[in-house]
Structure 1
Amino acid sequence: MDIVISEFMDEPAVQRLREQFSVLYDPGLVDRPLDLQSALARSRALIVRNRTQVNQALLEHAPRLQVVGRLGVGLDNIEQGPCRDRGVQVIPATGANARAVAEYVLGAALLLARGAFGSTRAVASGQWPRTALGQGREIGGLILGLIGFGDIARQLSAMAGHLGLSVFAHDPGLAPDDPAWAAHRARPLALDELLAQADIVSLHVPLLPSTRGLIDARRLEQMKPDAILINTTRGGVVDEAAVAAALRAGRLGGAALDVFDEEPLPCSEHLQDVPNLILSPHIAGLSRQANTRVSAFVADAVARQLRSPS
């Protein structure tokens, strides 16, 4: 077996790989760890999304593994050190789903700023909350604060500019005079300044020890009481319970959480019936077009790696 694919992949990309290699495509393998270990015994490549844990224990069952393709960009489910030690190349789909995430963030911002789109049940039942729901905001003229300024944030910055948003961003990895700021029409700010000034805060950082719990109760208190928080990066970056508490207390204007510290999210009482909260199941980077781009990108990259001389 040349390639094992343990999670969903776009079928045309799978077929393209089958034309060149022997392929085991079984999206259910992620939930059958013993079968996955067995499948990897002779495999040269593994393709995953975000649920398959590519760690030291799994690598011990994959002595021939040369490459791991990641159908996405986050690498917190792939242990980089053990992969490097074994000479396993890790290939994320950098940039392939950036537009999908950027559009999700803007869509959530529009919904939460206007605040009028949760009224279907009330209106259908004969209520008419026109006065209460007529105080929403247009996003033109508001300030978008981006925490992290990689590819997704840069695409988002460009889109936001067309809607009349001013864009501030915080990224300690970029120098204040880096040309990327001007090229993507964003102004660099320290994190505390950004949180204090932004009307909409969107997170675009990996989950690292330094970013775990980055947005906690203390940082939420730094934000404007009508600000909107959007997290499409990794769940552990945000304290979910603190967000829910801030929304219930009226100390935050709205929030959209697409990612969670534990996924799939178990039944969570602290996130139920929270006002102005949008929850989605880690799908910001998923769209028909993005799935096609991501799958094609990874299929081609894995194929090149397997064909390259050892």
Structure 2
Amino acid sequence: MATCFITQPIHPDAVAHLNGAGIATCYASRATMEVAAAEIGDAEAVITRDLGFDEAAIRAAPNLRLIACHGSGTNRIAVAAAAARGIWVTNAPNTNSRSVAELTMGLILAAARRIPVADRAVRDGQWDFRYAAGGIELAGKTLGLIGFGAIARHVAVMAGAGFGMRVMAWSPNVPDAIFAQAGVMRADGVEALLRSADVVSLHRPADAAGAAPIDAAALALLKPGALLVNTSRGTAIDGAALVAALRAGTLAGAALDVLAQEPPPAHDPVLSAPGLVLTPHLGGATDEALRRTAMLCARQVVDALAGRAPAHRVQASGA
């Protein structure tokens, strides 16, 4: 019986699907790359979430035929090493787009209305915080989207139709027709977007070309009182520059679902930055999205182990 090794928990329906197809499943005892390399053994397939799968783990798996990424980004998988061995690498695009977009809007609201600070104030007996909250209304404000893929397009609809925001976006690869269809203004470049937007939300994948990280120079282009939200990749923002801008008050607030190092070390200055809302990379962690993502991974494992080419390959197999 073929075996699929799973580095981190996935939706039980996907495990049942694999078992129903005659594929045994086993979980890593701990979600570390060292444990994955030590325990993968003779498994023919692996499903991995944000742990990824590195070259050492690939070398430790002599029978491996497929690495299925539980999500769209494969930046933590040694794709080239897999290709050299003739191992498929697949991803699960657009299965969590709606959930990430909904969290994006939640983070925008949390930063705009200072919801986490207000919550703490009530618990600390500071009911009069409402007189000094200093929140902003989103209606009529400009939302700038850096990237205009599936997630950003969901956000554009929610922000525009739902909150009355003006929406603009920058993406070098999306056709003009998509912008026109969405009713979203196309920014001439990232700098133009940063200067115009009241709220900036990042949606570029880790391997996308053409946009430098948001650093001190980029942050200086933002309007006074602007908000910055990131649900894409932790490396998209210079963390030290962000903390400095928040402490200086040149940036009114920010909200991050992703960090350059996850989890962050206890001494990371980002943990004590004022006006910063943090969530633990849970954009796609709704039951609906987790099921869609895991089921797509499972179906691709079944296809690959049955000799069929899986649908969402990120590189051609040499097999």
TM-score (norm 2): 0.88
Counterpart contact for 1:69–1:91, Cα < 8 Å: yes
Q: Secondary structure at the match of 1:119?
A: helix
Counterpart contact for 1:116–1:136, Cα < 8 Å: no
Residue 285 of structure 2 corresponds to: 286
Within 2, Cα distance between the matches of 1:32 and 1:92? 19
Residue 223 of structure 1 corresponds to: 222
Seq. identity, %: 35
Query: Residues 211 and 262 of structure 1: is their aligned pair in 2 closer, same or farther, counting only changes over 3 Å?
Result: farther
Query: Residues 240 and 28 of structure 1: is their aligned pair in 2 closer, same or farther, counting only changes over 3 Å?
Result: farther
Q: Would you say 1:7 and 2:5 are equivalent positions?
A: no
Q: Secondary structure at the match of 2:117?
A: coil
Residue 47 of structure 1 corresponds to: 47
Residue 252 of structure 2 corresponds to: 253
Shift of 1:300: 1.4
Residue 70 of structure 1 corresponds to: 69
Q: Which runs of 4+ in 1 moved over 4 A?
A: 209-213
Residue 29 of structure 2 corresponds to: 28
> Aligned AA for 2:15?
V
Counterpart contact for 1:100–1:285, Cα < 8 Å: yes
1:34-67 CA distance string (max 9 Å, x none): x533443422211000113x23322222232221
Query: Residues 209 and 69 of structure 1: is their aligned pair in 2 closer, same or farther, counting only changes over 3 Å?
Result: closer
1:82-111 CA distance string (max 9 Å, x none): 222222222211001111110011011112
Q: Would you say 1:180 and 2:178 are equivalent positions?
A: yes
Shift of 1:27: 4.5
Shift of 1:221: 0.5
Within 2, Cα distance between the matches of 1:39 and 1:305? 21
Q: Secondary structure at the match of 1:105?
A: helix
Q: How does 1:82-231 map to 2 (within 5 A)?
A: 82-127=81-126, 128-133=128-133, 135-162=134-161, 163-175=163-175, 177=176, 179-189=177-187, 190-208=189-207, 214-231=213-230
Shift of 1:183: 2.2
Within 1, Cα distance between the matches of 2:107 and 2:60? 42
Shift of 1:129: 2.6
Query: Residues 2 and 122 of structure 1: is their aligned pair in 2 closer, same or farther, counting only changes over 3 Å?
Result: closer
Query: Residues 269 and 66 of structure 1: is their aligned pair in 2 closer, same or farther, counting only changes over 3 Å?
Result: closer
Counterpart contact for 2:18–2:25, Cα < 8 Å: no
Within 1, Cα distance between the matches of 2:160 and 2:243? 30
Within 2, Cα distance between the matches of 1:126 and 1:8? 40
RMSD: 2.1
1:91-150 CA distance string (max 9 Å, x none): 2110011111100110111121123552233344443133212x4222121111111111
Residue 264 of structure 2 corresponds to: 265
Q: Secondary structure at the match of 2:144?
A: strand
Shift of 1:184: 2.3
Counterpart contact for 1:98–1:155, Cα < 8 Å: yes
For structure 1, the 5+ residue unaligned runs are none
Counterpart contact for 1:206–1:234, Cα < 8 Å: yes
1:151-210 CA distance string (max 9 Å, x none): 1111211222212111111112234x3x21122222211110000111111111122495
Within 2, Cα distance between the matches of 1:6 and 1:270? 30
Within 2, Cα distance between the matches of 1:273 and 1:294? 34
1:281-303 CA distance string (max 9 Å, x none): 11112111111111111111221
Paired residues in the alignment total 305
Deviates more, 1:114-123 or 1:221-230: 114-123
Deviates more, 1:83-92 or 1:285-294: 83-92
Query: Residues 126 and 5 of structure 1: is their aligned pair in 2 closer, same or farther, counting only changes over 3 Å?
Result: closer
Query: Residues 40 and 131 of structure 1: is their aligned pair in 2 closer, same or farther, counting only changes over 3 Å?
Result: closer
Within 2, Cα distance between the matches of 1:98 and 1:126? 38
TM-score (norm 1): 0.91
Shift of 1:213: 5.9
Query: Residues 39 and 275 of structure 1: is their aligned pair in 2 closer, same or farther, counting only changes over 3 Å?
Result: closer
